[in-house]
Structure 1
């Protein structure tokens, strides 16, 4: 079956298991082990001439086989999937989906059973696409007010949570509810290549998120370079403060200096020219060896990344100034390899 599907769509095609247009949606928080318990729901779907999408903790093989058989006999399009997640997270996902699609979760804890399901307990969506690994629900027909309230609850939970895992799960749920989910499929010729590419995508994604949160600044180290001008206006009260300001200025110049030097250009000349002018968007494109408007050229940094780096560096520096001793690794001097004696050096 899969081979035939691959032959139809080609190696670059996308294989989906099924697509349901405007289906009725049933959400059940337990395992479906008795096909007879679904007869009521199937009758409602047949009566309305609508496809049926079932989300449950699990569907046993016997029930699934019977479901498929009834589907063919009645000409009813049915698809059943396992509820995503585990434990409390699974229940939260079901509740989110219920709000999104306007469905009531059928749960014995709420006094609801499958054999007593009414049509108003079922939700709907414009389209449901199910593939081997993913399920996409498009344009759920839940009340917009309830969806927004649910999103606001998740935003509050993200702000108040101190556990990184809980924050990530809440953020994932918020993204699904607000319609902002994208999946990057990273491939490669080897496991090492896939891992390296995945790390790049992760870094780019984190940088993009940080940029969305707090904005961007010109990249290439010029934002830090130009910030040294603000330090020049500070009035040092003594020689120690003056020396401290100079140290910070040198540190702020270091990123731009390193980038230019590593590209093989004269960093002193480049940095001097940049500091002489007042256009804070002007920088040096080390790849091309020319002065450009950094933002226009697409050379940018996330402000959050720059700010966090400065805060962390200041914290470490403060720690070093208050400690009584610092343990450092003593670099070992590399001895030159011994020279093989030539024939003239050998005695007889």
Structure 2
């Protein structure tokens, strides 16, 4: 059992080029913004305004999305290597309805918004205020750990109690583990 203060989920970086500490092979992001997007990102065009705002802030960015692929992933890697953007991208944890619930948990923990197109939210309209934040994020090949999210303590405690009652009520071993 590994005890972490914060939240850990079993998804690692999408490219080893996001690594900032080559000795430990992890991407360490201090005081990052966190973008939560429920769909795949294959083109960064809609994200340019938010990326520019993050670059201006000189803070790192963690992108958690269903997937980041193709041109979007290549562009992030190039910008990371050139030093213009401290970034790491990971796939969202879980599957289906469970994925949405886990993304909402991360949103509560980091005081960010889950960008969902079903609610009419468009990536190109997202402002820096919609991004979550945390004191530190560490991303390895297999796991992501978010430490000291800036979410409201009361909201986090309420969500923890809700999860504990769901664990007590479930009969599925798989659900209990998650």
Give the TM-score, by structure 2 length.
0.82
From 67, 74, 89, the counterpart of 2:98: 89
Aligned to 1:103: 112
Superposed counterparts of 1:19-38, under 5 Å: 19-38=28-47
Bigger helix share: 1
Rg (Cα) greater in structure: 1
* Structure 1 position 160, deviation (Å): 2.2
Does structure 1 residue 119 correspond to structure 2 residue 128? yes
SS in 2 for 1:125: strand
Aligned to 1:136: 145
SS in 1 for 2:85: coil
Aligned to 1:192: none
CA RMSD of aligned residues (A): 1.9
Tell me how far apart the structure 2 counterparts of residues 152 and 17 of structure 1 sit (CA, whole Å).
32
* Structure 1 position 168, deviation (Å): 2.7
SS in 1 for 2:65: strand
* Structure 1 position 34, deviation (Å): 1.1
* Structure 1 position 152, deviation (Å): 1.1
Superposed counterparts of 1:90-239, under 5 Å: 90-169=99-178
Tell me how far apart the structure 1 counterparts of residues 173 and 82 of structure 2 sit (CA, whole Å).
49
The alpha-carbon distance between structure 1 residues 74 and 43, as it changes in their structure 2 partners (threshold 3 A), is farther
Contact 1:46 1:74 in 2 (8 A): no
From 37, 42, 52, the counterpart of 2:51: 42
Tell me how far apart the structure 1 counterparts of residues 68 and 173 of structure 2 sit (CA, whole Å).
33
SS in 1 for 2:115: coil
Give unmatched runs, 5+ long, in structure 2: 1-15
SS in 2 for 1:151: helix
**Larger relative CO (CA 8 A, sep 6+): 1 or 2?**
2
Aligned to 2:76: 67
Aligned to 2:5: none
Aligned to 2:4: none
Aligned to 2:86: 77
* Structure 1 position 136, deviation (Å): 1.0
* Structure 1 position 37, deviation (Å): 1.6
Superposed counterparts of 1:266-285, under 5 Å: none
Give the TM-score, by structure 1 length.
0.43
- After superposition, give the CA deviation of every residue in 1:28-70 in whole Å (9 maximum; x if it has no partner): 0000011212212211101211111100000112211112223
Tell me how far apart the structure 1 counterparts of residues 123 and 146 of structure 2 sit (CA, whole Å).
22
Bigger strand share: 2
